[in-house]
Amino acid sequence: MKILFHDFHVVDAFTDITGDVFVDGESIVDVIPESEPRRQFAADIVLEGGGRLVLTSGFVDMHAHFREPPPRQYGGHGPCEKETLEAASLAAARGGYTSVVCMANTNPPIDNAEAASAIKFMADALGIIKLYPAVSLSEKMNGKKLSPYLAEKKPVDKPADTSIYGHSYGHYSYSPYRPPLVSEDGKDIENDELFTAAIRAAAEHNAVVSCHCDLDGEDAAVERAVKLGGGAGGIHIAHISTKGAADIVRKHKKTQALTAEATPHHISLTKYDADNAGAGTFGKVAPPLRGETDRLAVIEALRDGAIDVIATDHAPHTLEDKQNGAPGFSGLETAFAVCNTVLVKENNFSMQKLFSLMSAAPARILGLNGCGSVTKGNHADIVILDTERENVINSSLFASRGKNTLFSGRKFLGVVMLTLCGGRITYQSSF
């Protein structure tokens, strides 16, 4: 399909112009500033931005939980009632996300390339987003020995199993999947030797190691991860929430390969919000919501580059599970509105900085070539935004099965109008 986006405010980490963007199939064919003569394109669809609507590169989420376990031949048991691949993918598209890494802590965990490949195949068949399943650091996430994937000295290219939930999909073919990120998210590997071995093995597989740092407290766990990772190939610190952790990362990233992320809820909410909702139930998240000093420190770390990425840590739960203390919030469908309001409107971040945090930086860290910017020749992964439109969050309308959020009923600025993934319209609201 050929689509012409006419008279849009085109903004990404590297560009800030008004002009036209022409998409043909899966690629961005041209980006034309308004200062240049308008060109004629044989477009199937023409969308008008009125010089006001923002066009940017599709968002990239390094950290989300999609819940659906590996297929049955890998010990799985079918879709999880908390979430499905389809529901999470639709939620991502509604949030402006075109590329998402989903964590390995399903039941059972994703600890081998075959299981990850099968999940990716199912997501690719849906055609809603580009999904990159993570693989765990340890086998069955038990912290005792390397996962089967990382235990391979060199990745072995072998045919992926295309039999999914008992149905044959042999008429499809795809290359063996190599995850761009590995993680034991939800826990730390307590054994230093195993943790270091996992970091080194991940480097051989060209995979980023995302570290959940909670052992003996966040600051101590970040210090430990940075120390061990510095000599083993570099790491990525997940969901930083304290001033101390941000300071540690800022100090060490000058001398070693180190990146970090923060979540929309940790830059916008505090312990006060958690307590009001129920600190042990609906307000519970890991790491927990902190005080105002920590919240502001994380924002400043995003501003000065100590923290590189905004990641949602999308964690859908059933109502019963939240009542029983399951940690986490659904975040894919609220991330842009929250970040636009808190960072751009309240803390004077530029839109270019915001889109670096939400798109360009995570694409670069993950090695997703052709993603992260609105550039001629790049993938046609695009999101259209109304950055000034009021957005009152209504979790009952979420595409995600998880309605657990502290943002429901709150007003923000910023609405996702359209998401284009690989040249396909995967979400569209009314212009």
Q: In angstroms, rounded to a whole number, what is the distance separating the alpha carbons of residues 71 and 83?
A: 15
Q: CA angle 351-59-53, nearest 5°?
A: 50
| Residues 281, 258 contacting (CB under 8 angstroms) | no
Mention every residue, 6+ apart, whose C-beta is less than 8 A from residue 143. Answer: 184, 187, 189, 190, 191, 194
| Residues 265, 333 contacting (CB under 8 angstroms) | no
Active-site annotation holds for 313: yes
Residue 13 per-residue DSSP state: S
| Residues 66, 102 contacting (CB under 8 angstroms) | yes
Q: How is 202-264 classified by DSSP, letter by letter?
A: HHHTT-EEEE---TTSHHHHHHHHHHHHHTTT-EEE-S--SHHHHHHHHHHTTTS-EEEEE-H
Q: In angstroms, rounded to a whole number, what is the distance separating the alpha carbons of residues 402 and 88?
A: 9
Active-site pick, 20, 61, 308, 313? 313
Q: Quote the longest CA-to-CA distance of the chain.
A: 63
Sign of CA dihedral 212, 309, 105, 204: negative
Active site residues: 313
